[in-house]
Amino acid sequence: MLSLAIVVISFTLLQFTVAAFNLVFKPDLHNYELKENFLISVLIPARNEANNIGIILNDLITQSYANIEIIVFDDLSEDRTPLVVEEMAQADGRIKLIKSDKLPDGWLGKNFGCHSLSLQAKGDYLLFLDADVRIGDDILQRTAAYAEKFKLGLLSVFPDQLIVTRGEKMTVPIMNYILLSLLPLPLVLGSGFPSLAAANGQFMLFKNQVYKKLLPHEFARKNKVEDILIARYFKQNRIPVACLTGNESVQCRMYRGFDEAVNGFSKNITAFFGNSFLLATLFWLITTLGFIPVFISFSLNISLPYFVIFLVTRIFVSLSSNQNIATNILCLVPQQLTMGLIVYKAFINKFFYQFQWKGRDIT
């Protein structure tokens, strides 16, 4: 029991160190301005996004950086998505709609949509956005300026997550906790190791000439966690990659309610652990039940500081993610229990059922 307690404390100290590192070295994009008038192609794959597509298009056309083209790929939507885009395209010539005839064999829908969009894009930079993302300020030119400054092939931003319902409070912060307590994001840029890579498909900015050389969405055409795979693919090819989080100019309400969030996260949670269910389960056990061997093995002089460090790590992650600290602390136990449910559901879906997303089975 003592050995197990030492392992738990050591791992908790590691998480604390990584979370503190991410908070202290979090870059401020307001320090970067684009010095050349690059064309930025904003590319949006959309399937049944009638409630969101008009909002993101309005965000884009009101950006202070005007040298953009906006292309939406309608992936066989069954709602008014294409009609909304066509109406807005009549008012702003920078907007263009392309439609899918069918989903080819061997592709997942979003990956095919992104690849199809890239074939139409003319920009110096290609920005892939999800339709449910909201953007503000001058985020387009500032992210392009950051990419230029560090000569990046790929820059990805984790949006601030808009968390509304009780179910979302129990689920959405889990991904930020895993990411920001395990991966030192500044080292994504500084290290050549593919394992030190992360990306979020909601906001991925590529240098066009690099994208056209590697064709990342074609490479990841069958993968349901294409963003992380692409980031590692770029690093394997020695292309600089950076990943940022907690920028208030990029927001997203990722899921609406508990069930939707659990289903969504279950398709990608193991990607944070090298697609290992064993590592994902060990992480959940240590962060959920690790206090038991610590409190059994040590006096309050050690177990109490351990608990403080555990809580401070959560606070650092919340600050880096621009999330409410009090809410995350109060929901700590439900979040941990939900993490276990997500890992379990991921296991069941992989070996016994199909993952489903946007009305399609995905493998």
Per-residue confidence (pLDDT) for residue 113, from 0 to 100: 96
Q: Are residues 52 and 10 in the same domain?
A: no
**Token pair listed for 151:** 């000569």
Answer whether 206's CB lies under 8 Å from 45's CB.
no
Per-residue confidence (pLDDT) for residue 271, from 0 to 100: 85
Tell me the pLDDT tens digit for each residue of 3-48. 999 999 999 999 999 999 999 999 888 888 888 899 999 999 999 9
Q: How many domains does the chain have?
A: 2
List the CATH number of the domain containing 38. 3.90.550.10
Average pLDDT value for the chain: 92
322: left (phi over 0), alpha (psi -120 to 50) or beta: left
Per-residue confidence (pLDDT) for residue 358, from 0 to 100: 57
Tell me the pLDDT tens digit for each residue of 80-133. 999 999 999 999 999 999 999 899 999 999 999 999 999 999 999 999 999 999
Per-residue confidence (pLDDT) for residue 363, from 0 to 100: 55
Helices (H) and strands (E) in the chain, counts: 17, 10
Q: Are residues 110 and 219 in the same domain?
A: yes
Choosing from 230, 256, 282, the residue where a domain stops is 256
Per-residue confidence (pLDDT) for residue 121, from 0 to 100: 97
Choosing from 233, 256, 279, the residue where a domain stops is 256
Per-residue CA distances from 18 to 11, 81, 174, 305 (Å): 11, 41, 16, 18
Per-residue confidence (pLDDT) for residue 190, from 0 to 100: 78
For residue 245, what is the DSSP state?
E
Answer whether 139's CB lies under 8 Å from 254's CB.
no
Q: Is residue 306 part of a domain?
A: yes
- Evaluate if residue 354 carries a pLDDT over 70: no
| Host H or E run for residue 264 | helix 258-266
For range 187-198, the mean pLDDT = 86
Taking Cα atoms as reference points, which of 299, 281, 279, 301 lies closest to residue 289? 281
Terminal C-alpha separation, the chain: 40
Tell me the pLDDT tens digit for each residue of 215-259. 999 999 999 889 999 999 999 999 999 999 877 899 999 888 999
Q: Are residues 247 and 157 in the same domain?
A: yes
Per-residue confidence (pLDDT) for residue 320, from 0 to 100: 94
Q: Are residues 187 and 236 in the same domain?
A: yes
Per-residue confidence (pLDDT) for residue 281, from 0 to 100: 95
For range 180-201, the mean pLDDT = 89
| Three-class SS state of 176 | helix
Per-residue confidence (pLDDT) for residue 362, from 0 to 100: 58
Rounded CA separation 166/19 (Å): 25
Alpha helices in 127-251, H assignment, sequence order? 139-149, 166-169, 173-182, 186-190, 208-214, 216-219, 226-236
Rounded CA separation 244/31 (Å): 14
**Global pTM value:** 0.91
Q: Are residues 232 and 155 in the same domain?
A: yes
Rounded CA separation 314/200 (Å): 21
Range of 301's domain? 2-24+266-352
Q: Which amino acid is at 31?
A: N
**Token pair listed for 338:** 């939900």
Q: Are residues 37 and 152 in the same domain?
A: yes
Per-residue confidence (pLDDT) for residue 93, from 0 to 100: 93
Contacts 24+ apart (CB under 8 A), 8-11: 8/286, 8/290, 8/291, 8/293, 8/294, 8/306, 9/294, 9/302, 9/306, 11/286, 11/290
| Host H or E run for residue 206 | strand 203-207
Q: 3-state SS of the chain: helix, strand, coil percent to 5?
A: 55, 15, 30
- Per mean pLDDT, which range of 156-170, 202-216, 246-260, 345-359 is the poorest? 345-359
- Evaluate if residue 194 carries a pLDDT over 90: no
Task: Calculate the CA dihedral of residues 56, 59, 63, 69 and round it to 10 degrees.
Answer: 30
Per-residue confidence (pLDDT) for residue 264, from 0 to 100: 87
For range 143-170, the mean pLDDT = 95
- Evaluate if residue 359 carries a pLDDT over 60: no
Tell me the pLDDT tens digit for each residue of 298-327. 888 899 999 999 999 999 999 999 999 999
Q: Are residues 147 and 66 in the same domain?
A: yes
Choosing from 256, 279, 310, the residue where a domain stops is 256
Biggest CA–CA distance in the chain, Å, is 70
Q: Confidence band (pLDDT; 50, 70, 90) for 339?
A: very high
Rounded CA separation 218/360 (Å): 19
Q: Are residues 296 and 240 in the same domain?
A: no
Strand-pair category, 95-99 with 68-74? parallel
The share of the chain scoring above pLDDT 70, in percent, equals 96
